[in-house]
């Protein structure tokens, strides 16, 4: 089945550690996104990528990094520079243009 797969679903990390969240899609979509969701704040855009080897910062990119080496994959690294990384992270993809976003099931990161 076509879709977006995020892993891991739950992740615990100690302060000062980097962690990478995986996002893979087999929908042949060009654009991919990472959003962060905090209670009562909706979704905030971290990074997005419209094509391979290209990506743009969203509203809250500080403390995060991404890569887009393959069309299917858009991993997000939460670095130790991110001051408050505990959140629910959602990956999404879409065809370029005007389509709706398709979302993965999310990854919940907790920093201990």
Partner 1 sequence: AQKVTQAQTEISVVEKEDVTLDCVYETRDTTYYLFWYKQPPSGELVFLIRRNSFDEQNEISGRYSWNFQKSTSSFNFTITASQVVDSAVYFCALRHYNNNDMRFGAGTRLTVKP
**Contact set with partner 1 (CB under 8 A):** 31, 33, 35, 40-45, 48, 50, 58, 88, 90, 92, 94, 96-106, 108
Kindly report the number of other CB atoms within 10 A of residue 18's CB atom: 13
Cβ within 8 Å of residue 85, ≥6 positions away:
13, 19, 63, 78, 109, 111
Least distance between partner 1 and beta carbon 45 (Å) = 7
Nearer to partner 1 (CB atom), residue 48 or residue 64: 48
How far from 85 is each of 29, 60, 66, CA to CA, in Å? 28, 11, 15
Q: Between 85 and 104, whose beta carbon lies closer to partner 1?
A: 104
Among residues 37 and 80, whose Cβ is nearest to partner 1? 37
């Amino acid at each position: 089945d076509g879709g977006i797969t995020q892993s891991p679903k739950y992740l615990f990390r100690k302060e000062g550690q980097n962690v990478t969240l995986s996002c893979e899609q087999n929908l042949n979509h060009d654009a991919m996104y990472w959003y962060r969701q905090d209670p009562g704040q909706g979704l905030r855009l971290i990074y997005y990528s419209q094509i391979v080897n290209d990506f743009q910062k969203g509203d809250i990119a500080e403390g995060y990094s991404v890569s887009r080496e393959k069309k299917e994959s858009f991993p997000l690294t939460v670095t130790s520079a991110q001051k408050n990384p505990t959140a629910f992270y959602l990956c999404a993809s879409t065809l370029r243009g005007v389509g709706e976003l398709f979302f993965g099931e999310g990854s919940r990161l907790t920093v201990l």
